[in-house]
């Protein structure tokens, strides 16, 4: 099964609203990353949060990490039509497990309605 699982699988909101998507994982991690994918294109890195960090911001993006619950959330504020995409979380495991792999979840499909 996947290390990271996003929730919800799909989300539709009006332009200007905030979008929140969640990611849960199973094992200890070194860091967690969020990526965006426009339809059929390559993934683009958005933000990386390390296991010793709790919150991180980048522009309209806010990511939180709760290692006790093994979960992360991505908040996109003041959404725009251009934010329509799929969003994936990816976990890099801790040193004890080998950190060579970045394991992706199945993604949240976000649609912004103009």
Partner 1 sequence: EAQVTQNPRYLITVTGKKLTVTCSQNMNHEYMSWYRQDPGLGLRQIYYSMNVEVTDKGDVPEGYKVSRKEKRNFPLILESPSPNQTSLYFCASSPIYPYNEQFFGPGTRLTVL
- Residues in the site for partner 1, rule: CB under 8 A? 2, 30-31, 33, 35, 40-45, 48, 88, 92, 99-107
Q: Among residues 41 and 54, whose Cβ is nearest to partner 1?
A: 41
DSSP tag of 41: S
Q: Among residues 13 and 48, whose Cβ is nearest to partner 1?
A: 48
> Phi and psi (nearest 5°) for 106?
-90, -10
Is 107 exposed, middle or buried, given 0-12, 13-18 or 19+ CB atoms closer than 10 A?
buried
Minimum CB distance to partner 1, residue 80 (Å): 22
Minimum CB distance to partner 1, residue 42 (Å): 4
Q: Among residues 31 and 71, whose Cβ is nearest to partner 1?
A: 31
Minimum CB distance to partner 1, residue 48 (Å): 6
Count CB neighbours of 78 within 10 A: 11
Rounded CA gap, 85 and 71, in Å? 21
């Amino acid at each position: 099964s996947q290390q990271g699982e996003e929730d919800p699988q799909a989300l539709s909101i009006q332009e200007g609203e905030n979008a929140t998507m969640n990611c849960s994982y199973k094992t200890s991690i070194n860091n967690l990353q969020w990526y965006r994918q426009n339809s059929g294109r390559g993934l683009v890195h958005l933000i990386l949060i390390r296991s010793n960090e709790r919150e991180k911001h980048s522009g309209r993006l806010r990511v939180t990490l709760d290692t006790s619950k093994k979960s992360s959330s991505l908040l996109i504020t003041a959404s725009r039509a251009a934010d329509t995409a799929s969003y994936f979380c990816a976990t890099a495991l801790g040193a004890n497990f080998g950190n060579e792999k970045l394991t992706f979840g199945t993604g949240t499909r976000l649609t912004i309605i103009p």
